[in-house]
């Protein structure tokens, strides 16, 4: 079976740290505004890559599209997105599909060969049994010898078939592992190993679509993180983010889900949470754990003990959707920042909804 060629994944296309990504953002957005291109995720990925300048052919085609058309055609954007942004994922999917096709073809050939061998063996048995029913069996040794040879041949064929089945099972396990790794890469934040923003949005929408009751949202933001990065560098900032991600994974209650919402901001979806007090208790526990973090600056051996985070939380109410719940939790987080940071602030229930 042919092996798929290695192609860059979409995660490897954008390894920039926050500062470099922000610089590219400042280039990409004005380009889209200048040409009246809606800054949706697909267009942003194209013009972000354009600003990065590592795909000359993409830049040439984008320049040509802008020159040839009064507005940027959606079908052109979609094609360029497939050809240059997610091509690695598409090629990997095609390669995996081809592996499955080849695997099925191999198994089909082995099954067909086994069926033919079984039919031949059945015919040999029938012929031998008919010979044994004859009144005079002068050729009995030959009949028995033919049956023995047919049996041995059938046994050999079955052993080969079983070997191919075992090989196919191993190949299926390998393909399943590839699919699982691809799924993990598509849903997890690579730095903190919690869900990424895209997965979080989907999970929160699913939770709200099933039943609002018992759903709470906790948003946390590491205090003064920009200054922290500026003073100690992004590698140390990344270590702090990794520690926070680890704490979230350790402290999550059953059925809860944590995600990195962006930069130094995280979100937690709590299920089976029927009151703000329960959500508050979880957030307060998390706040204290973050406050207790001690991070060592390797070049100076300095121990940092001033890492804190602010929290906003909101309990889902009847009529809430993704945007309204996020807004209330974000407003509560903002209030926690205004009140002095390093604290948990619950959202005030909406009068119209809670009445």
Concatenate the DSSP letters of all residues of 189-258 into one string: -TTTSSB-HHHHHHHHHHHHHH-STT-EEEEEEETTHHHHHHHH-HHHHHHHHHHHHHHHHHHPPTT-EE
Which residues fall within 8 angstroms of residue 69, CB to CB, at 6 or more apart?
A: 76
Give the length of the chain. Answer: 355
* 92 a catalytic residue: no
pLDDT of residue 341 exceeding 90, the answer is yes
Higher per-residue confidence, 33 vs 135: 33
In the 8-state DSSP scheme, what is residue 135? Answer: S
pLDDT of residue 354: 43
- What percent of the chain lies above the pLDDT cut of 90? 36
From CA 281, how far away is CA 251, in angstroms rounded?
A: 11
CATH number for the segment(s) 197-346? 3.30.70.270
**Average pLDDT, integer, range 246-250:** 96
Q: Give the domain ranges of the chain.
A: 12-72, 89-186, 197-346
Q: How many CA atoms lie within 13 A of 88 on its CB side?
A: 11
| Cβ-based neighbours of 162, under 8 Å, separated by 6 or more | none
**Residue corresponding to tokens 């061998």:** 117
The tens digit of pLDDT for each residue in 257-284 reads 999 998 899 999 999 998 999 999 999 9
Q: Which residue has the tokens 């013009």?
A: 47
Q: Which residue has the higher pLDDT, 343 or 124?
A: 343
> Active-site residue among 57, 264, 265, 317?
264
pLDDT at 62: 84
- Mean pLDDT, residues 24-52 taken together: 81
In contact, 228 and 324? CB cutoff 8 Å: no
Across the strands, what pairs with 345?
312
Q: What is the pTM of this model?
A: 0.55
Please name which of 324, 336, 70 lies closest in space to residue 205, comparing C-alpha atoms.
Answer: 324
Q: Which residues contact 190 (CB under 8 A, 6 or more apart)?
A: 11
Per-residue pLDDT, 39: 77
The pLDDT value given to residue 9: 53
Categorize the per-residue pLDDT at 40 as very low, low, confident or very high, splitting at 50, 70 and 90. confident
Using the predicted structure, report yes or no on whether residue 79 has a pLDDT greater than 90.
Answer: no
φ, ψ for residue 344 (rounded to 5)? -110, 130
Rg (CA), the chain: 31
In sequence order, the 6+-apart residues with CB closer than 8 A to the CB of 68 are: none
Whether the CA torsion 72, 78, 80, 86 is positive or negative: it is positive
**The two three-digit tokens of residue 194, written as one number:** 């919690």
Residue 81 per-residue DSSP state: I
pLDDT, greater one: 125 or 307:
307
Pick the more confident residue, 117 or 193. 193
Which pLDDT score is estimated for 26? 79
Q: How far is CA 79 from its chain centroid?
A: 23
Distance of CA 344 to the CA centre of its chain: 30
């Amino acid at each position: 079976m042919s092996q798929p060629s290695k192609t860059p994944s979409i995660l490897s296309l954008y390894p920039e740290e926050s500062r470099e990504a922000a610089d590219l953002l400042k280039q990409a957005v004005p380009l889209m505004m200048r040409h009246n291109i809606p800054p949706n995720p697909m267009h942003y990925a194209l013009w972000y890559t354009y600003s990065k300048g590592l795909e000359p052919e993409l830049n040439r085609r984008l320049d040509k599209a802008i020159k040839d058309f009064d507005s940027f055609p959606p079908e052109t954007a979609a094609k360029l997105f497939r050809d240059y942004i997610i091509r690695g994922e598409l090629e990997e999917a095609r390669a995996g599909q081809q592996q499955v096709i080849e695997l099925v073809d191999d198994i089909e050939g082995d099954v067909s060969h086994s069926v033919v061998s079984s039919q031949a063996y059945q015919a040999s048995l029938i012929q031998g049994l008919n010979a044994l029913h004859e009144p005079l069996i002068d050729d009995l040794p030959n009949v028995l010898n033919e049956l023995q040879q047919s049996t041995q041949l059938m046994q050999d064929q079955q052993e080969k078939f079983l070997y191919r089945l075992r090989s196919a099972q191993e190949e299926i396990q390998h393909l399943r592992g590839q699919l699982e790794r691809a799924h993990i890469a598509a849903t997890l934040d690579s730095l903190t190993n919690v869900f990424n923003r895209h997965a979080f949005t989907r999970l929160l929408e699913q939770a709200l679509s099933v039943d609002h009751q018992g759903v709470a949202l906790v948003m946390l933001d590491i205090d003064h993180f920009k200054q922290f990065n500026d003073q100690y560098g992004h590698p140390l900032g990344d270590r702090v983010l990794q520690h926070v991600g680890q704490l979230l994974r350790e402290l999550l209650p059953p059925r809860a889900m944590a995600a990195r919402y962006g930069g130094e901001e995280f979100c937690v979806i709590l299920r089976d949470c029927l009151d703000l007090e329960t959500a508050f208790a979880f957030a307060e526990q998390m706040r204290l754990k973050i406050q207790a973090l001690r991070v060592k600056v390797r070049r100076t051996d300095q121990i940092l003990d001033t890492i804190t985070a602010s929290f906003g939380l909101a309990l889902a109410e009847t009529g809430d959707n993704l945007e309204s719940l996020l807004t209330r939790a974000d407003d509560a987080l903002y209030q926690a920042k205004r009140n002095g940071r390093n604290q948990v602030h619950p959202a005030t229930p909406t009068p119209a909804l809670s009445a």
